[in-house]
């Protein structure tokens, strides 16, 4: 079995390790935040980690009311400018911890007296050493180029930090149940393996979601691009209603995340609109009626918590991308032209 598939299967254990090994540091971070006048949050990341940052933006803004911006690291590197980051929490996210541009953001934040956090999979990495606080994904080595377990670990650490920062017992409880829920998602692996065959000749697709699951649409599209070489594009449903919808034609594959929750009515509206155009719909949902509207459907466990369904959705998407690649005769562990660690400035 390919490394990517094995690493997908490791995720329940990884998330359990995340909480156990980072709880003391998270408590220290929260204590520092509670004694600071934090007025903004800035998150710096690239690639898959940037999609975890999008998830972080939603959950921090929704739970704390503090505005969150996604950093443009080239402001610090290419343009050599400094930002006013006092009274800010600055988070740098990188699987390897070697992202030089993210490192420059943390350096500037430290110079401004901001509270800095790094989230990496390596405790001895440059980012881990630069930040005031370091959260470790505790994933063990991720050997496949396509990031899977590190992505869910990054989201989990962000969500756990927010749950303790806001002292939200309901969210803490839901997060504690995630390893078992992801195990439940993994139980549909045979269905995904069998369904992948219908996508053998797919060469383009769209991935759509609304709200916090937009982060998952972005990450799903990237996973499809890098493992299958399919031209995949991700959009928020609210944006897709505008110009991008004109690209939809009969039998064009569209993947939609439609979990129960506040975004569901908007997703259903888009499903009806796509069906009128004859698009081929793959729907990931925990709503029985919505699943019946799909040409291909994958059911996730029940939850109407928008902070939890992204974890369930992405595991389905990771398995899907991996198996479509295998069906196409592509090794998802070694995408052409890519390396595990990408250094940008």
Q: What is the pLDDT of residues 112-121, one digit of tens each?
A: 999 999 999 9
Average pLDDT over residues 200-205: 95
Distances (CA, A) of 134 to 2, 59, 124, 157, 334: 31, 20, 10, 11, 29
What is the model's pTM? 0.95
Question: Cα separation of 259 and 218, whole Å?
Answer: 16
CATH placement of domain 182-327: 3.40.50.10490
Residue 342 confidence (pLDDT) above 80: no
Res 278: pLDDT: 96
Location of each CATH 3.40.50.10490 domain in the chain: 3-176, 182-327
pLDDT at 89 over 90: yes
Residue 267 and residue 296: Cα distance in Å, rounded? Answer: 16
pLDDT in the model for residue 248: 93
Phi, psi angles (nearest 5°) of residue 253: -70, 130
Contacts of 192 (CB under 8 A, 6+ apart): 298, 316, 319, 320, 323
Query: With pLDDT > 70 as the criterion, what percentage of the chain qualifies?
Result: 97
Structure tokens of 296? 């291909």
Q: Read off the pLDDT of residues 133-157 as tens digits, 9 standing for 90 and up.
A: 999 999 999 999 999 999 999 999 9
Read off the pLDDT of each residue in 249-256 and give the average, rounded to a whole number.
Answer: 95
* Mean pLDDT (the chain, rounded): 94
pLDDT of 162 strictly over 90? yes
In the prediction, which pLDDT does 340 show? 46
* CATH dotted code for 3-176: 3.40.50.10490
pLDDT of residue 82: 85
* Backbone phi and psi for residue 336, each to the nearest 5 degrees, phi listed first: -65, 135
Dist CA 51 CA 218 (whole Å): 6
Rounded Cα distance between 140 and 153, Å, is 11
Helix, strand or coil for residue 308?
A: coil
Mean pLDDT, residues 186-199: 96
Judged against a pLDDT cut of 80, whether residue 335 lies above it is answered with no
| Separation between Cα atoms, residue 94 and residue 137, nearest integer Å | 10
């Amino acid at each position: 079995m390919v490394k990517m598939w094995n690493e997908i299967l490791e995720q329940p254990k990884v998330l359990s390790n995340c909480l156990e090994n980072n709880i003391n540091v998270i408590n220290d971070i929260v204590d520092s935040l509670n004694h600071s006048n934090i007025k903004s949050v800035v998150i710096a990341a690239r690639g898959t980690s940037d999609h975890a940052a999008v998830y972080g933006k939603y959950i921090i803004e929704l739970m704390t009311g503090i505005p969150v911006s996604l950093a443009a690291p080239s402001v610090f590197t290419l343009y050599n400018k400094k930002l006013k980051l006092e009274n800010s929490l600055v988070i740098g996210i990188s699987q390897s911890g070697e992202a030089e541009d993210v490192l420059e953001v943390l350096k500037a934040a430290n110079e401004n007296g901001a509270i800095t956090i790094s989230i990496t999979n390596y405790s001895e990495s440059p980012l881990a050493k630069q930040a005031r606080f370091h959260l470790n994904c505790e994933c063990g080595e991720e050997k496949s180029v396509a990031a899977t377990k590190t992505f869910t670990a990054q989201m989990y650490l962000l969500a756990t930090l927010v749950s303790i920062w806001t002292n939200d017992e309901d969210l803490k409880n839901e997060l504690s149940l995630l390893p078992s829920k992801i195990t439940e998602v993994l139980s549909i692996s045979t269905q995904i393996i069998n369904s992948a065959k219908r996508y053998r000749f797919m060469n383009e697709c769209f991935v759509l979601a609304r709200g916090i699951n937009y982060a998952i649409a972005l990450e799903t599209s990237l996973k499809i691009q890098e493992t299958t070489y399919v031209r995949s594009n991700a959009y928020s449903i609210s944006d897709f209603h505008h110009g991008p919808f004109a690209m939809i034609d009969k039998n064009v594959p569209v993947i939609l995340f439609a979990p129960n929750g506040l975004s569901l009515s908007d997703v259903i509206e888009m499903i009806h609109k796509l069906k009128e155009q004859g698009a081929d719909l793959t729907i990931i949902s925990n709503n029985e009626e919505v699943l019946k509207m799909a040409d291909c459907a994958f059911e996730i466990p029940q939850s109407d918590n928008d902070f939890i369904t992204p974890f369930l959705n992405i595991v389905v998407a990771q398995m899907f991308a991996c198996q479509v690649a295998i069906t196409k005769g592509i090794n998802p562990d070694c995408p052409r032209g890519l390396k595990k660690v990408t250094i940008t400035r």
